[in-house]
A and B are shown apart, each in its own frame.
Chain A
Amino acid sequence: LTHSVIIVEDEPPARAKLKRFLASLPDFQVVAEAETVEIAVAEITTRRPDVVYLDIQLGERSGFDVVDQIRGVVSPYIVFTTAYAEYAVQAFDVQALDYLLKPFDRDRFLRSSERVRVALADPDHGDLEERVRRVLATMPGRSVPVKQVLVRDRIRAYFVPVDTIDRITAAGNYVEIHAAGKVHLVREPLTQLIAQLDAGDFIRVHRSHVVRLAFIAELQPMFHGDYELILKNGERLALSRRYKALLPAAIRERL
């Protein structure tokens, strides 16, 4: 299985360097190169590559122009390459897979290519599940969300009121229910548990984390397109790029 690649760089040496690195990877194949925004948009929309290595500074134009123009048509993974970190925040916003700062060496490039492989091999349909969960929650005839969750430990079985739950985290075969400063273990898949909760109150922010919307205090951008959520009790949680797009607009706009 080969991954098709398009390189968008306005400087020939920068293209040559990426091509040399990519040539050592038998599973990556460069299908086109582009040196301007126009050529890049044409090549990406017709060839539909798996991944685009995209320079941010393209003469007087910008790699973000390319992202804007292919949006809604194709969605390759994007690895930004740039000489200067001033655009990092913008790159997070367009959910780049990675951000290579020039000059980068082979090791750094290979780490990035591994990230591409992982993303292509496991598209993590958790975000799709989450979309479905929210759509289902708005449909008429849907069962009413539960008010309490049954927890069993060795000694007893008891109910945890849903309105005391701050967050829920997958941990191996269990999920941890964090409620009112205590942690309760439930042997149930995360997806199944949260299907019973109100999709408007609890949102999935990571493959393993579900958080009460009202319990989020702050969002902080991290490198490589991920964010960190700071909760009202000071705990920090990773927010994957994939789930960021699913945050309610009111929260995303605070970024």
Chain B
Amino acid sequence: LTAQVEPHFLFNTLNAISNRMHEDIDAADRMISDLGSLLRAAYDLDNHVLVPLEHELAWLRGYASLMTERFRGQLLFTLIVEPGLESLQVPRLLLQPLVENALTHGLRDGRGSLRVEVARRGSQLQYTISDDGIGIKEAAANPGTGLSNVTRRLDLLFPETHTFTMTAREPHGTVIKLSFPVLN
């Protein structure tokens, strides 16, 4: 398993940086640093199956802040993490396909909000990814390969001990909840 940095993502981000540096050089600097984090994850050839949660969150923050820059004023991203979970072991890059899918297929014309929550529920760690986009029915007409990839990995890593649900969110949008055993 390797992280994907899609060519479109890479080149559009470089284009956004080349604009940002004329407006705010520190912001442009942050974008380069964020892009660096994503590329580093993509080039991680060690191929760990499990990584500390904080690695996952570093990837997520970098990705979210680049997308927020590119769709400035159109995209609201919220990340809520229960304190004290940072060093727990989690499947590497499990969040990536879910978040990318929500941002690229779920939201209307790049507008909307995306919320990611990470919390402990007893002996399980739970991810909740919710968007206010086009919803399941329309999204299903345009399925990303990402979702099946996630459920397959959960089946392999945690047979019988994980959950995965995708439900409609009111008034519109999608909520994905998944949980798997806490690993120290």
Interface residues in chain A, defined as those with a beta carbon under 8 Å from any beta carbon in chain B:
10-14, 16-17, 20, 35-36, 57, 59-60, 83-84, 101-105
Contacts and interface: CB of A to CB of B under 8 A. Distances in A.
A112 to B, nearest CB: 15
A84 B7 CA distance: 7
Interface of B: 7-8, 10-12, 14-20, 22-23, 69-74, 105, 108-110, 142
Given A10-B110, A16-B19, A20-B22, A103 B11 contact: yes
Nearest to A83: B11
B8 A103 contact: no
A contact patch SS: loop
Contacts of B22: 17, 20
Contacts of A16: 19, 23
B149 to A, nearest CB: 20
Contacts, number: 62
A14 B105 CA distance: 20
A57 B110 contact: no
Nearest to B14: A103
Contacts of A102: 11-12, 14-15
Contact of A13 (B11, B70, B110): B70
A41 to B, nearest CB: 14
Contacts of B16: 11, 13-14
Given A11-B70, A14-B12, A102-B14, A83 B7 contact: yes
A48 to B, nearest CB: 25
Given A11-B71, A36-B109, A57 B19 contact: no
A105 B17 CA distance: 12
Nearest to A38: B109
Given A11-B110, A17-B18, A103-B14, 17 more contacts: A10-B110, A11-B12, A12-B71, A12-B72, A14-B12, A16-B23, A35-B109, A35-B110, A59-B109, A83-B10, A83-B11, A83-B12, A83-B15, A84-B11, A102-B12, A102-B14, A103-B11
